[in-house]
Structure 1
Amino acid sequence: MPTELKMPALSPTMEEGTLAKWLVKEGDAVKSGDILAEIETDKATMEFEAVDEGTISKILVAEGSDGVKVGTPIALIAGEGEDAGAAPAKPEPAKAPAAKTEETPKAAEQPPEPAPPAKPVPSKVEGGGGETPPAAPAPAVAARADSGDRIKASPLARRLAEAQGIDLASLKGSGPGGRIVRADLGAAGGAAAQPTAAAAPSPHAAPVEPGDIPHEVVKLSNMRKTIARRLTESKQQIPHIYLTVDIQFDALLKLRSELNAGLASRNIKLSVNDLMIKALAAALIEVPECNVSFAGDTLIKYSRADISVAVSIPGGLITPIVANANAKSISAIAAEVHDLAARAKEGKLQPNEYQGGTASLSNMGMYGIKAFDAVINPPQAMIMAIGAGEKRPYVINDSLQIATVMSATGSFDHRAIDGADGARLMQAFKRLVENPLAMLA
């Protein structure tokens, strides 16, 4: 009988999505790896691919449908030899126990209780993590096949695993027959860094009565809902500590000007933000106590600095990641940030390009903001907030002069990072920005 394809969880934070476009129609034959639809998540528009071969027998959710919950059946797919017109497999109802009579034996002699209803046939769609697990789950099926060493995984899962450096042999698949799917990678990439305690549900805002003030009611996008929930959880669950330093960065501006002159032939232009990313990455390697994540009763210590960069896009904010920023040249960082920001605004980032990171950087200097306290992006344990550079009176070599000065504020998760260690990171960041040649060594 046909199997239900269900709305997948294409990111760890996805609870519902928009089925933007079907790329197949009823009666189309599909094989593993074929793209079936485009789905708008809380972060980007992503492709939904087939896991197994079959024929699309019925489309249950029309394209353009908004607010489709994860786990909702969206189509039926019939396998080889199956009747495409048949209804999907249904659980068999449990038989009611026989009614008691006057002659009912003692409790110890009662027949055994009837078996609970059979569970529905699992979906063959990737990201099946949206399904509610049964009360007494069967043992997880190993990802390896029963015979041979071949690892069962979807083509997309293989590509993402390679990009994220995840060993498929270490995972257990949640797909049909133990196949590893996209959702299993998401769990593997973030499980180590997630707190062990379940997050408390976010309280809903009190109703607003606009009265007779002219207004319009705007429905929240999936991205805005996710931002609201995650920032509320961050401020409720993470004890923030804020440390601010003033940084004189005339030397950095001079170096940037000289580097841009040398890079003009390569059509590369460095921004102040690119140098800040490099400085933060170098500081995190210098002070590894701040390159961590709090995970309940463990602390995750990272050996490289992956910097999430806050990018404002229509309808919200996204944080694409410059991986291994400590080992990259500033010109390479500039080119990567330009590419990530452009694709972020088009909604074309892949999950591995915005999920993860070891620390974040948010720069509001271009808006003239002098200083601000940024909210930590869990499971990370720190974020650096960069203010605008401005001419200020500043003491240089024991004399009062005019210098270009900016304020930088680090927000730290006090469960994972002590104040003294946070201060050491801010000190290292200040030194690197004020002596930027050290970042080129």
Structure 2
Amino acid sequence: MAILIRMPEIAANATSAVIASWSRKEGESVAAGDCLAEIETDKAVIELTAEHSGVLGKILVTAGNEVSVGVPIAVLYAQDGEMVDVEALLAAEDGVSQQADASVQDDAAAALLSKGEPGVATQRILASPLARRMALERGVDLSTLGGSGPGGRIVKRDVLSASPNSAPGKQAVGGPAPAVQAADRAYTEIPHSAMRRTIARRLSESKATIPHFYLRADCHVDSLLSLRSQVNAQAGRKITVNDIIIKAVGAALRELPQMNVSWTDGGLRCYRDVDVAVAVSTDAGLITPIVQAVDGKPLSLVAAEIARLAERARKGELAPHEYQGGSFTVSNLGMFGVQEFDAIINPPQAAILAVGAVQQRPAVMEGTLIVASVMTVTLSVDHRAIDGVLAAKWLAVFKRIIENPLSALI
């Protein structure tokens, strides 16, 4: 008996995901537990494993397409050579979906009528799964079609009869030619990945809804660089400046726990654990894996965890619990020679520390002009959760620790 394989809900509250690649070809045998496909979520690539053994008979959605949760993406045959009418199987699926949609429409109409609404309106395009798949394959915009199915539902015959010019972005035959602008330039448009869309949405929401304010400090790091050299002369794993910064952030949050918070509409959420997110650049975009309980771990372990998480992030192998959560983020662009920058807060966190490059600069020490190693850091703060005085106190604590880094290691 053939089984429809559906797009699973990879992450909590996810409504869709992208099929990054298929690991099996049509006609290949599959054992329960085998990887069928790689599914791209907003932050990582997750393996879709088979729940049953059989043969991958038909791939319904090709790699690179975004699919709603619950939509059939492939058909698994019970055995090789099994005769399966895929269209009939999907048509049966359509019938079930039609009944469900009709029920939903009836419930919505009843709810609106009970409130005295004069009519029933909906923004959702009613279309069968088969019609949606065919429209995707043919480049047909469903919003341009009229549905001939029950309740105006778009079905297979509506897509088949659609003109190719109903696809989005195409001009109707006989219509006026689009105006050519003198400033037009040739370009290549790269479709957004699910991860890039999520980054764009979250950062836009952050800047639009979180009242940011910024504090800046110059840290003298000659002692830090000297300590790092001593540690690396004896350590098996090399310690980076960023490793010590993360450890110093954890120590500062433990000393001033009022900064280890986040804003919610219901109240101020105060965290018991000091979990610090580390911004990592990947080919797909920025991701922030979490180093948990930073304040209670030795520097060597913190460094090892950062390296492990960064490697998994760049391979797209992070599990949701490895990048969700945290109460504070560190973003370091110093390795690119950036002197200073203002980072955008990663919600629901209340602060992020932007770290610039270590540079040789003139400085005055006890009345004497010297050349010192200086690193500029900028603290972005959510003013709803943290006041300016508290943020200034925390930055002073961090500066003291980073300029006397041995205190962070004890």
Correspondence for 2:332: 363
Deviation per CA, 1:343-386: give whole Å up to 9, x if none.
22222222222222221100111111111110011111111100
Query: Which has the higher mean CA deviation after the structures are superposed, 218-227 or 19-28?
Result: 19-28
Find the counterpart in structure 2 of residue 17 from structure 1.
Answer: 18
SS state of the match for residue 185, structure 2? Answer: coil
Once the 2 structures are TM-superposed, how far is the Cα of residue 64 of structure 1 from its aligned partner? 1.9
- 1:161 is matched with none
Amino acid at match of 1:74: I
- SS of residue matched to 2:65: strand
Deviations 1:311-331 (A, max 9, x none): 111132111221111111111
SS at structure 2 position matched to 1:215: coil
Cα distance in 2 for partners of 1:15, 1:63 equals 15
Is 1:244 the counterpart of 2:213? The answer is no
Shift of 1:93: 4.4
- How far does residue 253 in structure 1 lie from its aligned partner after superposition? 0.6
Match in the other structure for 1:381? 350
CA distance in 1, matches of 2:17, 2:29: 26
- Matched to 2:67, the amino acid is V
What is the CA distance between 1:250 and its match in structure 2?
A: 0.6
User: How far 1:434 moved relative to its partner?
Assistant: 0.5
**Unpaired stretches in structure 2, ≥5 consecutive residues:** 103-127, 129-180
Cα distance between partner residues in 2 of 1:3 and 1:418:
57
Residue 262 in 1 paired to residue 220 in 2?
Answer: no
Query: Do the aligned partners of residues 226 and 248 (structure 1) sit closer, same or farther apart at CA in structure 2, a change above 3 Å counting?
Result: same
3-state DSSP of counterpart to 2:248 = helix
Aligned residue among 175, 192, 204 for 1:232: 204
Question: Which residues of 2 match residues 282-361 of structure 1 at below 5 A?
Answer: 282-361=251-330
Whole-Å separation in 1 of the counterparts to 2:212 and 2:6? 39
Map 1:24-173 to 2 at 5 A: 31=32, 33-50=33-50, 53=52, 59-76=58-75, 87=89, 90-91=95-96, 93=99
User: Equivalents in 1 of 2:292, 2:15: separation in Å?
Assistant: 23
Against the structure 1 CA distance between its residues 29 and 253, is the aligned structure 2 distance closer, same or farther, given a 3 Å change threshold? closer
- Partner residue of 1:431? 400
Q: 1:235 to 1:439 in 2, by over 3 A?
A: same
Structural RMSD (CA): 3.0
Partners of 1:56 and 1:257 lie apart in 2 by 58
Q: Distance in 2 between matches of 1:55 and 1:210?
A: 58
> What is the rounded CA distance, in whole Å, between the counterparts of 2:56 and 2:358 in structure 1?
61
Cα gap change, 1:298/1:53 in structure 2, threshold over 3 Å: closer, same or farther? farther
Give deviations 1:383-432, integer Å, cap 9, x for gaps: 11001111222232243322111111111111111222211211111011
- The answer to which of 282-291 and 212-221 deviates more is 212-221
Q: Is the Cα–Cα contact under 8 Å of residues 2 and 78 in structure 1 kept in the other structure?
A: yes
- Asked if 1:219 is matched to 2:191, the reply is yes
CA distance in 1, matches of 2:65, 2:194: 9
User: How many angstroms apart in 1 are the aligned matches of 2:397 and 2:350?
Assistant: 17
Residues 17 and 40, structure 2, Cα contact 8 Å, conserved in 1 = no
CA distance in 2, matches of 1:210, 1:344: 43
In structure 1, the partner of 2:124 is none
Number of the residue aligned with 2:8: 8
Q: Specify the code of the residue in structure 2 equivalent to 1:234.
A: S
Distance (whole Å) between structure 2 residues aligned to residue 349 and residue 252 of structure 1: 31
Q: Structure 2 length as normaliser, TM-score?
A: 0.70
Instruction: Tell me the distance in 2 between the aligned counterparts of 1:251 and 1:333.
Output: 20
Letter in 2 for 1:283: A
- Structure 1 position 212, deviation (Å): 3.3
Aligned mates of 1:5, 1:424 — CA distance in 2: 55
User: Which residue identity does 1:322 align to in structure 2?
Assistant: V
Match of 1:412 among 377, 381, 386: 381
Tell me if the contact between 2:17 and 2:39 (Cα under 8 Å) persists in the aligned partners: no
TM-score norm. by structure 1 comes to: 0.66
* Distance in 2, Cα, partners of 1:403 & 1:53: 65
% identical aligned pairs: 44
1:29 CA displacement: 6.6
